[in-house]
Amino acid sequence: MVRVGSAKWLGKYPAGQGQFILDADPQEAKNAFTVEYDHSLGSNPEAMLGAAQSGCYSLVLSMILSKAGYDVEEVDTHAEVAVGNGPDGYGILGIKLITKASVEGIDDSEFQKHAVDAKNTCFVCKALAAVDIELEAHLMGKSG
Protein backbone atom coordinates (compact mmCIF):
# COMPACT_ATOMS: atom_id res chain seq x y z
CA MET A 1 0.00 0.00 0.00
CA VAL A 2 1.23 3.47 -0.83
CA ARG A 3 -0.23 6.60 0.77
CA VAL A 4 0.38 9.96 -0.86
CA GLY A 5 1.27 13.23 0.77
CA SER A 6 2.82 16.01 -1.25
CA ALA A 7 3.39 19.72 -1.19
CA LYS A 8 3.59 22.54 -3.69
CA TRP A 9 5.43 25.87 -3.31
CA LEU A 10 4.08 28.88 -5.22
CA GLY A 11 6.12 32.02 -5.75
CA LYS A 12 9.60 33.28 -5.09
CA TYR A 13 11.29 32.40 -1.81
CA PRO A 14 10.65 33.66 0.84
CA ALA A 15 7.54 35.60 -0.19
CA GLY A 16 5.66 32.67 -1.66
CA GLN A 17 3.57 30.12 0.14
CA GLY A 18 3.08 26.40 0.05
CA GLN A 19 0.20 24.02 0.12
CA PHE A 20 0.00 20.47 1.42
CA ILE A 21 -1.85 17.99 -0.75
CA LEU A 22 -3.14 14.98 1.19
CA ASP A 23 -4.74 11.80 -0.08
CA ALA A 24 -7.86 12.70 1.91
CA ASP A 25 -10.72 15.13 1.57
CA PRO A 26 -9.03 18.57 1.42
CA GLN A 27 -11.59 19.88 3.90
CA GLU A 28 -10.14 17.58 6.58
CA ALA A 29 -6.92 19.58 6.94
CA LYS A 30 -6.19 23.27 6.86
CA ASN A 31 -3.11 22.93 4.77
CA ALA A 32 -1.21 26.09 3.86
CA PHE A 33 2.21 27.21 4.99
CA THR A 34 4.72 30.01 4.47
CA VAL A 35 8.35 30.51 5.40
CA GLU A 36 7.25 32.49 8.46
CA TYR A 37 4.76 29.79 9.52
CA ASP A 38 1.79 32.11 9.64
CA HIS A 39 -0.61 30.03 11.73
CA SER A 40 -3.61 31.86 10.28
CA LEU A 41 -2.88 30.17 6.95
CA GLY A 42 -2.77 26.67 8.35
CA SER A 43 -0.01 24.34 9.39
CA ASN A 44 3.63 23.67 8.53
CA PRO A 45 5.67 20.60 7.56
CA GLU A 46 6.83 19.94 11.13
CA ALA A 47 3.28 19.94 12.47
CA MET A 48 2.16 17.65 9.64
CA LEU A 49 5.02 15.31 10.55
CA GLY A 50 3.85 15.39 14.17
CA ALA A 51 0.29 14.65 13.09
CA ALA A 52 1.44 11.67 11.02
CA GLN A 53 3.47 10.32 13.93
CA SER A 54 0.60 10.87 16.37
CA GLY A 55 -1.86 9.09 14.11
CA CYS A 56 0.41 6.11 13.57
CA TYR A 57 1.29 5.85 17.27
CA SER A 58 -2.37 6.04 18.42
CA LEU A 59 -3.34 3.31 15.97
CA VAL A 60 -0.44 1.03 16.96
CA LEU A 61 -1.01 1.49 20.71
CA SER A 62 -4.71 0.69 20.31
CA MET A 63 -3.83 -2.38 18.25
CA ILE A 64 -1.27 -3.66 20.79
CA LEU A 65 -3.61 -3.11 23.74
CA SER A 66 -6.53 -4.74 21.92
CA LYS A 67 -4.45 -7.78 20.96
CA ALA A 68 -3.43 -8.08 24.64
CA GLY A 69 -7.14 -8.38 25.50
CA TYR A 70 -7.83 -4.88 26.83
CA ASP A 71 -10.91 -2.81 25.98
CA VAL A 72 -9.55 0.43 24.51
CA GLU A 73 -11.96 3.35 24.70
CA GLU A 74 -9.66 6.09 23.37
CA VAL A 75 -6.03 6.86 22.55
CA ASP A 76 -5.33 10.57 22.08
CA THR A 77 -1.78 11.47 21.05
CA HIS A 78 0.02 14.62 20.00
CA ALA A 79 3.62 15.27 19.07
CA GLU A 80 5.54 18.38 20.04
CA VAL A 81 8.11 18.80 17.27
CA ALA A 82 10.96 21.05 18.45
CA VAL A 83 12.66 23.04 15.70
CA GLY A 84 15.73 25.25 16.07
CA ASN A 85 19.49 25.51 15.75
CA GLY A 86 21.37 22.38 16.69
CA PRO A 87 24.84 20.94 16.17
CA ASP A 88 24.06 20.22 12.50
CA GLY A 89 22.37 23.56 11.84
CA TYR A 90 18.69 24.47 11.77
CA GLY A 91 16.35 21.52 11.90
CA ILE A 92 14.22 19.22 14.04
CA LEU A 93 15.85 18.97 17.47
CA GLY A 94 13.54 16.36 18.97
CA ILE A 95 9.97 15.16 19.32
CA LYS A 96 7.96 14.70 22.48
CA LEU A 97 5.16 12.20 21.89
CA ILE A 98 2.40 12.65 24.48
CA THR A 99 -0.42 10.14 24.67
CA LYS A 100 -3.47 9.81 26.90
CA ALA A 101 -5.49 6.63 26.82
CA SER A 102 -8.66 5.32 28.42
CA VAL A 103 -8.34 1.55 28.73
CA GLU A 104 -10.50 -0.85 30.73
CA GLY A 105 -8.83 -3.24 33.20
CA ILE A 106 -5.15 -2.33 32.91
CA ASP A 107 -2.76 -1.00 35.54
CA ASP A 108 -0.25 1.77 34.83
CA SER A 109 2.80 -0.51 34.84
CA GLU A 110 1.33 -2.78 32.16
CA PHE A 111 0.10 0.24 30.20
CA GLN A 112 3.58 1.83 30.20
CA LYS A 113 5.08 -1.41 28.86
CA HIS A 114 2.63 -1.44 25.95
CA ALA A 115 3.13 2.30 25.35
CA VAL A 116 6.88 1.79 24.88
CA ASP A 117 6.24 -1.26 22.68
CA ALA A 118 3.97 0.89 20.49
CA LYS A 119 6.71 3.52 20.11
CA ASN A 120 9.16 0.82 19.04
CA THR A 121 6.61 -0.69 16.60
CA CYS A 122 5.16 2.48 15.01
CA PHE A 123 6.63 2.75 11.51
CA VAL A 124 6.57 6.57 11.57
CA CYS A 125 8.58 6.52 14.82
CA LYS A 126 11.00 4.12 13.13
CA ALA A 127 11.30 6.44 10.13
CA LEU A 128 12.14 9.33 12.48
CA ALA A 129 14.82 7.38 14.35
CA ALA A 130 17.46 10.01 13.55
CA VAL A 131 15.62 12.34 15.94
CA ASP A 132 15.35 11.85 19.71
CA ILE A 133 11.74 10.84 20.46
CA GLU A 134 10.62 11.17 24.06
CA LEU A 135 7.46 9.34 25.14
CA GLU A 136 5.08 10.56 27.84
CA ALA A 137 2.17 8.13 28.31
CA HIS A 138 -0.81 8.76 30.61
CA LEU A 139 -3.48 6.24 31.55
CA MET A 140 -6.78 8.08 31.98
CA GLY A 141 -9.87 6.73 33.76
CA LYS A 142 -11.13 3.20 33.08
CA SER A 143 -7.94 1.72 34.59
CA GLY A 144 -7.43 -1.47 36.60
Per-residue confidence (pLDDT) for residue 13, from 0 to 100:
64
For the chain, how are helix, strand and coil distributed in percent, rounded to 5? 30, 40, 30
pLDDT digit string, tens, across residues 109-122: 999 999 999 999 99
Domains and CATH numbers, the chain: 5-34 (no CATH), 45-139 (3.30.300.20)
pLDDT digit string, tens, across residues 29-76: 555 555 555 555 566 788 889 888 998 999 999 999 999 999 999 999
pLDDT digit string, tens, across residues 10-19: 666 666 676 6
Query: Alpha-carbon distance 98 to 103, whole Å?
Result: 16
Measured N-to-C along each axis, helices 45-67 and 108-121 cross at an angle, to the nearest 10 degrees, of 130
Query: Alpha-carbon distance 73 to 45, whole Å?
Result: 30
Question: Of 135 and 29, which is predicted with more confidence?
Answer: 135
Per-residue confidence (pLDDT) for residue 144, from 0 to 100:
45
140, pLDDT greater than 60: yes
